[in-house]
Amino acid sequence: MIIKPKVRGFVCITTHPAGCAANVRAQIGHVRSRPAPAGGPKRVLVVGASTGYGLGSRINAAFGCGAATVGVFLERPPVENRPATAGWYNSVAFEREARSAGLVSKSLNIDAYSDEAKARTIDLLRGIGPVDLIVYSLASPKRTHPKTGATHKSALKPIGAVYRGKTVDTDRAVVGEVTIEPAEDADVRETIQVMGGEDWELWIDALSGAGLLADGCRSVAFTYIGPKLTWPIYRDGTIGRAKEDLERAGRVVDARLSAQGGRALVSVMKAVVTQASSAIPVVPLYISLLFKIMKEQGTHEGCIEQTQRMFARLYGGDVPVDDRGRLRLDDWEMREDVQAEVDRVWPSITTENLRDLTDFDGYQAEFLKLFGFGLPGVDYDADIDPVVEFPEAV
């Protein structure tokens, strides 16, 4: 079939297997072009490994550090005349490239929240050895609790008051206002269940119980702070409460790993184009403006550049943290001059000047790359079989 992008809202409902593979190869090329961190990890588990920061971390571990990796994710496989999700194609491409490079690589397509996922991962790791790095990068709208069987759904809502703010309709390139009703208490509880830190703790418990945490093991989970203009629906909203719980869990995990000479960190990342960030009102418009500013300054980064810099800091001697013990990879985004320019330009953005004042075209290009479109060297007019399988059964 010939596969073209079909975008509905903040999701592209089609994906291109060759384009996704090209995107993975480009990220591998970036990592290989940089110096490898000294003393990097050698056996790495990435929970949520198929897209975004999870995929970037797996690529850095494997192709930057030569590590054996196990990736856990939940993606829809392809069927005849229906492409898979992008994460499926990303993971197949990673697996093939890793095997070609002689790297140990195992992938599990399974609900990472489940007890089964943890048990099967432990079985795989028994043949590899205790892990020295665990990257926790799950981003899901719902979670079925492994103990209660209840399915929880996250909510993207402000807390305490109606939110009204500027946003962009990415389909129509129209700047307008969004209104979001405040969360109920149940929304907050549900979002913490899905996006909080409990599952990170359960993974550490399971691996510890199986004797698969190496001495000195480190673990990282991701969060975002961002500028004040995003706080009502992010840091001060339901997602922010979940991220507070993630930081709570980080302290618990850190205490456990410290007993074996290890460490756990929550890493604050910069705003990038991901499937998750595209769904948050205000954020796509903010990212479009941020891209323009940071590209002009020469400080722009995507997921692979961010995770490469994270690995360099994790394994570069003393790890710099803020006053709450967080690793700050958003330092360039949150520079005073960058945010001053955001504050200056933001009120002036309209539909008419959107492409002049922001890098909206760059945002859209990065969005389509998530699904395998717009990659150089890919013939998007050619017939392609959407059924692409892993080198061995997953």
> What value, to the nearest 5°, has the Cα angle with vertex 202 and ends 200 and 207?
100
What is the full DSSP assignment across 74-97? --PPPBTTB---HHHHHHHHHHHH
Of 136, 234, 315, 363, catalytic? 234
- Closest by Cα among 350, 346, 304 to 175: 350
134, containing H or E segment: strand 131-136
* Alpha helix positions (H), the chain: 17-32, 52-59, 65, 86-100, 115-126, 185-195, 198-209, 238-258, 283-297, 303-314, 336-345, 354-357, 360-369
Q: Which three-class secondary structure string do you get for 144-205?
A: ECCCCCCEEECCCCCCCCCEEEEEEECCCCEEEEEEECCCCHHHHHHHHHHHCCHHHHHHHH
Cα–chain center distance at 120: 23
Measured distance CA(238)–CA(224) in Å, rounded: 13
Residue entry with tokens 């990065």: 366
Cα–chain center distance at 301: 14
Annotation marks residue 234 as catalytic: yes
> What value, to the nearest 5°, has the Cα angle with vertex 157 and ends 330 and 334?
15
Q: Which active-site residues does the annotation give? A: 234
